[in-house]
A and B are shown apart, each in its own frame.
Chain A
Amino acid sequence: MSALAVESLYKVFGRGAKQAVADLKAGVPREDLSKKVTAAVIDHNFEIPSGEIFVVMGLSGSGKSTLIRMLNNLIEPTAGNIWIDGVDLGGLSPKALRELRRDKVSMVFQHFALLPHRTVVENVAFGLEIKGLSRTERLDKAREAVEMVGLGGQEDKLPVQLSGGMKQRVGLARALAADTEILLMDEAFSALDPLIRQDMQDQLLDLQRQLNKTIVFITHDLNEAMKIGDRIAICDGRIVQLGTAEDILLRPENDYVSEFTAEVDRSRVLTAEAVMEPFTGDAGGLETVTADVLVSELYEPVLSSEQPLLVVDERSDPLGVVTPKTIIKSLATEDGEGEPREESAPA
Chain B
Amino acid sequence: MIQYLHDWFWTFVWKPLPEIPFGQWAESFIEWARLEWRSFFTGTSDFLEILHTGLTDGLLWLPSGLMVIIFAALAWLSKGWKLAALVGVGMFVAAWTPYWEETMETLAMVLVATLISTLLAIPLGILAAENRAASAAMRPILDFMQTLPAFVYLLPVVMLWGIGVTPGIFATIIFSMPPGVRLTELGIRQVDNEVIEAGQAFGASPSKILFGIKLPLALPTIVAGLNQVIMLALSMVVIAGMVGAGGLGGVIVTALGRVEIDAGVNAGLAVVVLAIFLDRVMRGLADRTPVARAARLAA
Q: Residues of A with Cβ closer than 8 Å to B?
A: 69, 72, 74, 98-103, 105-107, 109-117, 126-127, 130-131, 158-161, 174, 178, 184
Contacts and interface: CB of A to CB of B under 8 A. Distances in A.
A106 B290 contact: no
B293 interface: yes
Interface in B206-232: 208, 213, 216-217
25 contacts: A69-B197, A74-B197, A74-B200, A98-B205, A101-B201, A106-B201, A106-B202, A107-B198, A110-B194, A111-B194, A112-B194, A113-B192, A115-B195, A115-B216, A116-B217, A116-B291, A117-B290, A130-B202, A130-B203, A130-B204, A130-B208, A131-B203, A158-B294, A178-B202, A184-B201
B294 A107 contact: no
A116 B295 contact: yes
Contacts of B293: 117
Contacts of B217: 115-117
B297 interface: yes
B294 A109 contact: no
B298 interface: yes
Interface in B171-205: 192, 194-195, 197-198, 200-205
A98 B207 CA distance: 13
Given A111-B194, A113-B195, A116-B217, A127 B294 contact: no
A131 B289 CA distance: 27
A313 B200 CA distance: 48
Contacts of B295: 116, 160
Contacts of B194: 109-113
Contacts of A112: 194
**Shortest beta-carbon contacts, A-B, top 7:** A102-B203, A117-B290, A101-B203, A160-B298, A113-B198, A107-B201, A113-B194
B203 A98 contact: yes
Nearest to A161: B297
Contacts of A106: 201-202
A116 B294 contact: yes
A158 B192 contact: no
A186 to B, nearest CB: 9
A13 to B, nearest CB: 16
A178 B294 CA distance: 25
B203 to A, nearest CB: 3
Dominant SS at the B interface?
helix
Contacts of A98: 203-205
A105 B203 CA distance: 9
Contacts of B202: 101-102, 106-107, 126-127, 130, 174, 178
Nearest to A128: B202
B72 to A, nearest CB: 29
B214 to A, nearest CB: 11
A78 B261 CA distance: 73
Given A115-B213, A117-B290, A109 B197 contact: yes
A103 B201 CA distance: 11
Interface of B: 192, 194-195, 197-198, 200-205, 208, 213, 216-217, 289-291, 293-295, 297-298
Contacts of B203: 98-103, 127, 130-131
A117 B216 CA distance: 8
Given A116-B294, A160-B295, 10 more contacts: A74-B200, A98-B203, A100-B203, A107-B198, A107-B202, A117-B291, A159-B294, A160-B298, A161-B297, A178-B202
Contacts of B291: 116-117
A93 B200 CA distance: 14
Given A158-B294, A158-B297, A109 B198 contact: yes
A330 to B, nearest CB: 41
Contacts of A115: 195, 213, 216-217
A105 B201 CA distance: 8
B294 to A, nearest CB: 5
Nearest to B204: A130
A344 B194 CA distance: 44
A101 B208 CA distance: 15
Contact of B297 (A111, A126, A160, A178): A160
Nearest to B299: A160
A94 to B, nearest CB: 9
B201 A74 contact: yes
A105 to B, nearest CB: 8
A130 B201 CA distance: 11
Contacts of A114: 195, 198
B204 A117 contact: no
Nearest to A72: B201
Nearest to A131: B203
B73 to A, nearest CB: 27
A130 B198 CA distance: 12
Contacts of A109: 194, 197-198
A98 B197 CA distance: 12
Contacts of B289: 117
B68 to A, nearest CB: 35
Contacts of B198: 107, 109, 113-114, 126
Contacts of A130: 202-204, 208
A256 B172 CA distance: 65
Contacts of A113: 192, 194-195, 197-198
A72 B194 CA distance: 14
A178 B289 CA distance: 28
Contacts of A74: 197, 200-201
A98 B295 CA distance: 31
A109 B202 CA distance: 12
Contacts of A131: 203
A115 B295 CA distance: 11
A77 B30 CA distance: 54
Max count, chain A CB within 10 A of own CB: residue among B195, B203, B298: B203
